[in-house]
């Protein structure tokens, strides 16, 4: 990483999460190890996007909205924001922008705001999301931050999806651990479906079934301009 980028990174992290205390400074040294998922062009994962302290900070910001604290059958498991994001989400968006400056094409990085729509999803063990391509009302470059519980997200080519055997064979698993950020752009965003199946037996990573607890995800996207 260039020296200037490192300074940027530190400044934004401090702006978002406050200055790091010396006791936790070694844990705070996030280097943003972006890994390209080879089989899915435009799919990137950064497993160490947020330290534990930074994850806790975000979780308390989310909890302060009381989105998921209701009881009974009408309890919501999703919160959506359009346009004006809460300050913590706006800052997270800036952090994602800085961190992805060497990955995303310039025409995506130069848009302002970078993201203007957010969904926060809360999944209990066993709950996931069916295979889908995100709606075309959203532009390219979608970011998903994971908190609390790990899960495996599967990517399947849109064209293979109709043929069950073929789609299983070409499905690409990606581990989303807490604190990780996944970026979908280009082919990964438009030509691959993504899915999280948390039914018993499906959350396998390297042959071992993941232990599940509540999972929270923050999805950030940018709306297309009105036609």
Binding residues (CB under 5 A) for Fe ion: these are: 134
Instruction: CB nearer to Fe ion: give 1 or 80.
Output: 80
- Pick from 46, 118, 143, 144 the residue near ligand AKG by CB under 6 A: 144
Out of ligand AKG, Fe ion, none, which partner does residue 144 contact, by CB within 5 to 8 A per kind?
A: ligand AKG
Cis peptide preceding 87, ω within 30 of 0 = no
CA distances from 64 to 58, 86, 148 (A): 10, 11, 16
Quote the CA–CA distance of 62 and 47 in Å, as a whole number: 21
Beta bridge partners, 119, equal 80, 219
Q: Are 42 and 187 in contact (CB under 8 A)?
A: yes
Segments in the chain forming alpha helices (H) = 3-17, 25-28, 52-63, 87-99, 106-109, 164-169, 187-190
The SS3 call for residue 93 is helix
Q: Count Cβ neighbours within 10 Å for each residue of 116-133 and write b for 16 or more, e otherwise.
A: bbbebbbbeeeebeebee
- Tell me which of 36, 108, 124, 129 binds ligand AKG, using CB under 6 A: 129
Q: Binding partner of residue 147 among ligand AKG, Fe ion, none, CB under 5 to 8 Å per kind?
A: none
Q: How far is the CB of 176 from ligand AKG (least distance, A)?
A: 6
Q: Which of 61, 103, 109, 119 binds ligand AKG (CB under 6 A)?
A: 119
160 binds ligand AKG (CB under 6 A): no
CA-CA distance, 97 to 18, in Å (whole number)?
A: 19
Pick the closer one to Fe ion by CB: 134 or 148.
134
CB of 115 to ligand AKG, least distance (A): 13
Burial annotation 149-171 (CB, 10 A radius, 16+ → b, else e): bbbbbbbbbeebbeeeeebeebb
Toward ligand AKG, which CB reaches closer, 96 or 196?
196
Binding at 121: pick from Fe ion, ligand AKG, none (beta carbon under 5-8 Å per type) = ligand AKG
- CB of residue 13 to Fe ion, shortest distance in Å: 27
Task: Kindly state the smallest distance separating residue 150's Cβ from ligand AKG, in Å.
Answer: 11
Task: Name which of residues 96 to 115 contact ligand AKG (CB under 6 A).
Answer: none
153, 195 in Cβ contact below 8 A?
Answer: yes
Q: Would you give the DSSP letter of residue 208?
A: E
- By beta-carbon proximity to ligand AKG, the closer residue of 36 and 119 is 119
Residue number, 97 or 194, with CB nearest to ligand AKG: 194
Q: Does 217 bind ligand AKG (CB under 6 A)?
A: yes
List residues near ligand AKG by CB under 6 A: 119, 121, 129, 134, 144, 194, 196, 217, 219
């Amino acid at each position: 990483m260039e020296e200037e980028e490192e300074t940027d990174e530190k400044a934004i992290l401090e702006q978002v999460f406050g200055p790091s205390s010396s006791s936790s400074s070694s844990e705070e040294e996030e280097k943003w190890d972006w890994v390209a998922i080879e089989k899915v062009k435009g799919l990137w994962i950064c497993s160490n996007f947020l330290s534990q302290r930074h994850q806790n900070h975000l979780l308390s910001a989310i909890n302060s909205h009381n989105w998921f604290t209701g009881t009974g059958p009408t309890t919501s498991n999703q919160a959506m924001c359009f346009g004006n994001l809460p300050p913590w989400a706006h800052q997270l968006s800036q952090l994602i922008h800085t961190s992805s400056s060497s990955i995303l094409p310039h025409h995506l990085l130069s848009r302002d705001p970078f993201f203007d729509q957010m969904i926060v999803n809360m999944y209990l063990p066993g709950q996931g999301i069916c295979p889908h391509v995100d709606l075309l009302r959203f532009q390219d470059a979608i970011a998903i931050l994971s908190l609390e519980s790990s899960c495996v997200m599967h990517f399947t080519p849109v064209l293979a999806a109709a043929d069950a055997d073929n789609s299983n064979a070409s499905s690409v698993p990606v581990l989303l651990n807490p604190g990780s950020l996944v970026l979908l752009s280009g082919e990964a965003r438009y030509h691959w479906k993504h899915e999280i199946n948390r039914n018993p037996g499906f959350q396998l990573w390297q042959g071992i079934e993941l232990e599940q607890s509540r999972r929270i995800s923050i999805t950030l996207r940018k709306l297309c301009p009105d036609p």
